[in-house]
Amino acid sequence: MTPVERFGLALLHRLDPETAHSVSLSALKSGLAPLAGLVTSARLATTVAGLALPNPVGLAAGYDKNAIAVSALTRSGFGFIEVGAATPLPQPGNSKPRLFRLTEDRAAINRFGFNNEGAEVIAGRLAARAPGPVPVGLNLGANKTSADRAADFARVLALCGPHVDFATVNVSSPNTEKLRDLQGPAALAALLAGVMEVRAGLPRPIPVFLKIAPDLTLEDLAAIAEVALASGLSGIIATNTTLSREGLRSAHKAEAGGLSGAPVFEKSTRVLAQLSALTEGRIPLIGVGGISSAEEAMAKIEAGASAVQLYTAMVYKGISLAAEVARGLDGLLAAKGFDTVAAAVGSGRGRWL
């Protein structure tokens, strides 16, 4: 982290978290933040579900909800980025305050509730982006007041699908009432059938991923894995935020919403490893939850992830974390004798089972 970035982070932490979030996006869009550029190597470059990634370190959904800083984010060291979540209609989300820093725990709690400007506006921004070597995906969401939430995911894909490189079905956010009910096998199968039907009609059939919660039993995971494989999904992202509050110290630990950051690392990695064992390499996995270093990214890969995503750790370590993790991962792969990322996937899964 440069002195400029350290100073900027200190200023941001003097603001309330949601304002700081908005200011950081504006700084990126305006060119005020230092950008690492493309980070890649023969060892880091990999392919996941047909997506050519310059490196396996991605940005998770939720940071750039409305796709306003896509160009800057693709030049920030990430190997791929995911924007959104987008819903068919614009919605304000839940009432403020709805984002809390848990500094002592290196974590955050949010209860945004899919606040976004709507799929049409987001599709327009995505259509205007210049193509580049860093794939850009969209997280698909559902409107809170929708009479048919399952159909909302397909509607967003129909609007935005032609303008992105991949899409993620998000039925695991804890901040829209009863949304997680769509993770049940029957409901999930029906929802995915609608999404995959739309995907088949796109100008190019982009990969579609499913993002799951960390608060699932082994039985739940087995059922989801079966549905995912049967539906023709391209991959699974494990995991979203958790409802658990175990071991937290911060004054904000009792706030409602999804917990992300360091406390989620072990739980999310365990779910990832279990899913890897259940699917036995038949579907690629993307590991998310609590990554703040190259060592933690490597642990996710060894647990079964073909790629990883960052988010909350950037609150504490800045946007330069993406390049730092990617470069550190390159060194770790070399030190462990792996010529490629793919060669390391699942090599240490037993540690988490």
Q: Known catalytic residues? A: 173
Ramachandran angles phi, psi of 103, nearest 5°: -60, -40
| Three-state DSSP state, 237 | strand
User: CA 120 to CA 112: how far, in whole Å?
Assistant: 20
In the chain, DSSP assigns E strands to: 46-48, 51-53, 57-59, 80-86, 99-102, 107-110, 136-140, 166-170, 208-212, 235-238, 258-261, 285-288, 307-310
Q: Which residues contact 10 (CB under 8 A, 6 or more apart)?
A: none
Q: Describe the strand order of the beta sheet including 258-261 as a list of residue ranges.
A: 99-102, 107-110, 258-261
- Is 307 strand, coil or helix? strand
| DSSP codes, 13-65 | TTS-HHHHHHHHHHHHHHT-S--------TTT-EEETTEEESSSEEEPTTSST
Residues 6+ positions from 219 with CB-CB distance below 8 Å = none
Distance CA(174)–CA(184), nearest Å, equals 15
CA distance 333 to 316: 25
Biggest CA-to-CA distance, the chain: 53
